DNA sequence: CGGTCTGTTGATCAGTATCAATGACAGTGG
DNA sequence: CCACTGTCATTGATACTGATCAACAGACCG
């Protein structure tokens, strides 16, 4: 993902065990409140970072797919404030936190790479905040599928136009902020309209450009035209601000 | 904010200008798609990071208050993917990006501090994702007010139990993912129930503990009891998972 | 002053949640 | 091999949160 010196490359010598560890599905990798002693480089399988509220509501704030590191935020001191559990059987390499932490204090290249990685993650989260914050159920799910597919494609984890998709509708719902019932209906619409196929834990993107349009998604973040100044054109309606910050709707 | 060597301390020698710069209210600090040439240490005033969708929907993903750096994510290469505009008149110190970037490659302490800062920001965003993703309008606004007050308190920007609050209801709405009309009604409920006072750009927390309860907020992240294992107790209803990840509702 | 923005309230509507029931399927143990 | 169990996807009926539309008053500003 990074260009010159990725975190993955730099932490290579820190892998504690020669053999990656294996976890069964639906096992906790960490529980909220625990102190992480390591981060995991995920070679295979999926997991989810989530939080439970007292009344049972659950929200998933992040999925980890093969190639992800789970979780960089554990490198700041203190207890994990969200839990992580595997969704499928998982194979992951353990990277000892103490050793990584110690090296970070001396190795500028590693610190730089880690900062870059963290900042990139921040950008992704900021984008997803916007999606959760103001898009419809259909847009949220379409956006999620676009993004997921592109992420897996960059890692060579897609075949033709399809990829593994081990998530239940409950998982999708908890990630996109809706109920599983509504996720079900929304997915059905997407399938009925012919933009995706989804069965037996496999997702196939039939019409990517249409999915992108349905998502109000832009891989290069093209949503906002940002014409030269956008000035001089006021937007109508309640959601209006001063001209220089509110280009006209289109 | 950090303990030993904060970013703020480390970037001290990088401040490009002796005098901080001033901006008027409602001016763009950056527009989406532009290449940032500096980050800003905000001494006084407020601003917002946001994104506009084609149809005019706006979502604010972050407010910057005095003491914040706007924005760390600009240190990764490439164009800004969200815009930032001032909400009030602003006084900020310019920190040249090229110089910061150059120093980052050699200075392990700076890289470490920056990484810590970025990771802390990630954690905040992940928490806010949960809030936006699964809480009610009243909970979201209450949560926001709790958090804002605590953040300002840490920086000594509160007096008694009150603080400046220059945000319009439209700003609050765009941040918490609702309409300004609904934000208005929700704020009114909070005022009517006597937990806050809010007038003439000043917020007063009358009953903090009740506000916390209304927010399902926990400053120390206490929402999830995370009893020893949480195991053996299945939760009812649609939003159910395996026992080890789903402690009973309460 | 006259325009613009903000806060406010009321009436109505749409999107999504909730509740309930069912069928398909996988895993388990007798 | 088959009943038993639990999970998951699905559908229908209904309820409710929050959006939308409309109108107006006060504050602020040129």
Query: Pick from B27, B52, B111: which is nearest to A224 by CB?
Result: B52
Query: CA–C1' span, B223 to D23, in Å?
Result: 42
Measured CA to C1', what is the nucleotide nearest B183? Answer: D18
Residues of A in contact with B132 (CB under 8 A): 129, 132-133, 177
What per-residue confidence (pLDDT) applies to B22?
A: 93
> How far is A229 from B31, CA to CA, in rounded Å?
9
Going by C-alpha positions, the residue among A68, A87, A76 that lies closest to residue A29 is: A87
Poorest-pLDDT segment among A165-174, A200-209, B2-11, B142-151 = B2-11
What per-residue confidence (pLDDT) applies to B15?
A: 72
What per-residue confidence (pLDDT) applies to B111?
A: 86
Within chain A, all domains assigned CATH 1.10.10.10 are found at 136-219
On the question of pLDDT at A176 being above 60, the answer is yes
Query: Pick from B31, B116, B226: which is nearest to A33 by CB?
Result: B226
Q: 31-70 in A: which are within 8 Å (CB) of B? A: 31-33, 49-59, 61-62
- Strand-pairing partners, residue A39, are A95
SS3 per residue for A167-226? CCHHHHHHHHCCCHHHHHHHHHHHHHCCCEEEECCEEEECCHHHHHHHHCCCCCCCCCCC
Q: 117-146 in B: which are within 8 Å (CB) of A? A: 118-123, 125-130, 132-135
Measured CA to C1', what is the nucleotide nearest A182? Answer: C16
Top CATH class, B136-227: mainly alpha
In degrees, rounded to 5, the angle at the alpha carbon of residue B64 between the alpha carbons of residues B58 and B68 is 155
Q: Could you tell me the two tokens for B35? A: 């290449």
A177-197 pLDDT, tens digit each: 999 999 999 999 999 999 999
> How far is B7 from A138, CA to CA, in rounded Å?
41
Confidence of residue A240 (pLDDT cuts 50, 70, 90): very low
Which nucleotides along chain D are within 7 A of a protein C-beta?
7-13, 17-22, 28
Residue of A nearest to B60 (CA): A130
> How far is B32 from A245, CA to CA, in rounded Å?
11
> How far is A131 from A17, CA to CA, in rounded Å?
39
Poorest-pLDDT segment among A36-50, A206-220, B166-180 = A206-220
Pairing mode, strands A47-52 and A83-86: antiparallel
On the question of pLDDT at A2 being above 80, the answer is no
On the question of pLDDT at B250 being above 70, the answer is no
For chain B, percent of residues with pLDDT exceeding 90: 65
Distance from CA of B52 to the nearest CA of A (A): 6
Element (H, E) at B42: strand B38-44
Residue with CA nearest to C7's C1' atom: B184
Cα–Cα distance list, B79 to A122, A166, A206, A221, B122 (Å) = 14, 34, 31, 10, 20
What per-residue confidence (pLDDT) applies to B2?
A: 38
Cβ burial A214-238 (10 Å sphere, 16+ → b, else e): bbbbbeebebbebeeebeeeebeee
> How far is A208 from A210, CA to CA, in rounded Å?
5
Query: Pick from A28, A108, A216: which is nearest to B54 by CB?
Result: A216
In degrees, rounded to 5, the angle at the alpha carbon of residue A160 between the alpha carbons of residues A159 and A165 is 50
What per-residue confidence (pLDDT) applies to A250?
A: 24
Work out whether the CA dihedral B34, B37, B42, B43 comes out positive or negative: negative
> How far is B143 from B112, CA to CA, in rounded Å?
30
Going by C-alpha positions, the residue among A75, A250, A112 that lies closest to residue B56 is: A250
Query: CA–C1' span, A166 to D30, in Å?
Result: 61
Task: Flag if A58 and B116 touch (Cβ within 8 Å).
Answer: no
Residues of B in contact with A47 (CB under 8 A): none
For chain A, percent of residues with pLDDT exceeding 90: 65
Q: The tokens 């993650």 sit on which residue? A: A121
What per-residue confidence (pLDDT) applies to A147?
A: 94
Per-residue DSSP letter, A82: S
A152-164 pLDDT, tens digit each: 999 999 998 999 9
Measured CA to C1', what is the nucleotide nearest A179? Answer: C17
Within chain B, all domains assigned CATH 1.10.10.10 are found at 136-227
Residue of B nearest to A100 (CA): B112
Q: What is the fold, at CATH topology level, of the domain defined by A136-219?
A: Arc Repressor Mutant, subunit A (1.10.10)
Query: Pick from A126, A179, A244: which is nearest to B61 by CB?
Result: A126
B64-108 pLDDT, tens digit each: 999 999 999 998 878 999 999 999 999 999 999 998 888 888 888
On the question of pLDDT at B148 being above 50, the answer is yes
Going by C-alpha positions, the residue among A159, A145, A139 that lies closest to residue A208 is: A145
Confidence of residue A221 (pLDDT cuts 50, 70, 90): very low
**Coil, helix or strand at residue A165:** coil
Residues of B in contact with A75 (CB under 8 A): 115-116, 119
Work out whether the CA dihedral B203, B205, B211, B216 comes out positive or negative: positive
Confidence of residue A9 (pLDDT cuts 50, 70, 90): confident
From the options 3.30.365.10, 3.40.50.740, 2.60.120.10, 1.10.510.10, give the CATH code of A7-131: 2.60.120.10
Residue B26 phi, psi dihedral angles, 5° rounding: 65, 30
What per-residue confidence (pLDDT) applies to A200?
A: 82
Q: Between A136 and B245, whose confidence is greater?
A: A136
Q: Could you tell me the two tokens for A180? A: 């599983």
> How far is B159 from B152, CA to CA, in rounded Å?
10
Confidence of residue A219 (pLDDT cuts 50, 70, 90): low
Element (H, E) at A61: strand A58-64
A170 CB and strand D closer than 7 A:
yes
Confidence of residue B175 (pLDDT cuts 50, 70, 90): very high
Mean pLDDT, chain B, integer: 83
What per-residue confidence (pLDDT) applies to B206?
A: 96
Residues of B in contact with A245 (CB under 8 A): 26, 28, 50, 52, 83, 85
Q: 198-217 in A: which are within 8 Å (CB) of B? A: 216
With a CB cutoff of 8 Å and minimum separation 6, the contacts of A57 are: B134, B135, B239
| Strands lying side by side in the sheet with A202-205 | A158-159, A162-164, A202-205, A196-199
B181-238 pLDDT, tens digit each: 999 999 999 999 999 999 889 999 999 999 999 998 765 443 343 332 332 222 333 3
> How far is B56 from A234, CA to CA, in rounded Å?
10
Query: CA–C1' span, A13 to D21, in Å?
Result: 62
H-helix segments, chain A: 7-10, 97-104, 108-134, 137-154, 169-176, 180-192, 208-215
Query: Pick from A53, A121, A180: which is nearest to B238 by CB?
Result: A180
Distance from CA of B61 to the nearest CA of A (A): 6
Poorest-pLDDT segment among A23-32, B30-39, B226-235 = B226-235
Q: Could you tell me the two tokens for A44? A: 């295979």
Q: The tokens 């946001």 sit on which residue? A: B50
């Amino acid at each position: 993902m990074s260009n010159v010196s990725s975190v993955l490359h730099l932490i290579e010598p820190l892998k504690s065990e020669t053999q990656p560890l294996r976890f069964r599905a639906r096992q906790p990798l960490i529980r909220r409140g625990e102190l992480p002693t390591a981060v995991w480089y995920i070679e295979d399988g999926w997991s989810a970072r989530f939080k439970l509220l007292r009344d049972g509501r659950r929200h998933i704030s992040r999925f980890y797919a093969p190639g992800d590191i789970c979780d960089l935020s554990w490198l700041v001191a203190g207890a994990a404030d969200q839990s992580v559990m595997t969704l499928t059987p998982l194979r992951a390499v353990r990277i000892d936190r103490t050793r990584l932490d110690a090296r970070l204090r001396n190795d500028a290249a590693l610190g730089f790479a880690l900062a870059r990685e963290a900042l990139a993650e921040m950008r992704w989260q900021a984008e997803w905040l916007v999606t959760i914050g103001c898009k419809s159920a259909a847009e949220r799910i379409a956006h999620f599928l676009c993004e997921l597919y592109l992420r897996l494609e960059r890692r060579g984890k897609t075949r033709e136009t399809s990829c593994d998709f081990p998530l239940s509708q409950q998982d999708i719902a908890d990630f996109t902020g809706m109920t599983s019932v509504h996720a079900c209906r929304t997915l059905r619409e997407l399938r009925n309209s012919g933009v995706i196929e989804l069965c037996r834990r496999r997702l196939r993107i039939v019409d990517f450009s249409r999915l992108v349009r349905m998502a109000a998604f832009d891989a290069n973040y093209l949503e906002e035209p940002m014409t030269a100044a956008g000035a001089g054109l006021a937007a109508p309606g309640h959601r209006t601000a001063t001209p220089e910050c509110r280009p006209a709707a289109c």
